[in-house]
Chains A and B, each alone.
Chain A
Amino acid sequence: MFGAVTLELMKGLWTTIQIFLLTLIFSLPLGLILGVGSAGRWKILKRVIQVFVWIIRGTPLMLQLIIIFYGPGLWLGHNIWSGNEAGRITATVVAFVINYACYFSVIFRGGIEGVPVGQREAGQVLGMTKSQIFFQITLLQMVKRVVPPMSNEIITLVKDTSLARIIAAYELTFAGFSFMKSAGITWPLFYTGVFYLAFIGILTLLFNYIEKKLDYFR
Chain B
Amino acid sequence: MKKKLIAFMLCLAMVFSMTACGGSDSEDKKEATDNTEAGESESDVDYIKDKGTLVIGITEFEPMDYKDESGEWVGFDADMAKLVAEELGVEAEFVVIDWDTKIMELDSKNIDVVWNGMTLTSEVTSAMECTNAYCNNAQVVVVPEDKKDADLAELTFAVEAGSAGEAAAGEKEYNMNSVASQADALMEVASGTSDAAIIDLLMAGAMIGEGTSYENLIHTEELTTEEYGVGCRKGSDLAEYINGVFETTYGDGRMREIAETYGVQEAIVEQ
Instruction: List A residues at the B interface (Cβ < 8 Å).
Output: 43-44, 47-48, 51, 66, 69-79, 81, 83-85, 87, 165-168, 170, 177-178, 180-187
Contact = CB atoms under 8 A, between A and B. Distances in A.
A51 to B, nearest CB: 7
B148 to A, nearest CB: 18
8 contacts: A47-B15, A78-B36, A79-B110, A81-B110, A168-B98, A182-B60, A184-B186, A184-B213
A83 B105 contact: yes
Given A77-B36, A83-B55, A177-B183, A183 B110 contact: no
Main secondary structure of the interface of B (DSSP, over half): helix
Given A182-B61, A184-B183, A83 B95 contact: yes
Nearest to A187: B213
Given A73-B108, A75-B30, A79-B108, A43 B183 contact: no
> Range of interface residues on chain B?
35 or more
Contact of B96 (A44, A66, A170, A183): A170
A75 B181 CA distance: 28
Contacts of A87: 110
A181 B183 contact: yes
A84 B11 contact: no
Interface stretch (B126-134, B204-212, B249-257): B204-212
B101 A183 contact: no
B135 interface: no
Contacts of B29: 75-77
B14 A44 contact: yes
Contacts of A75: 26, 29-30, 33
Contacts of B190: 186
Contacts of B10: 44
B261 to A, nearest CB: 18
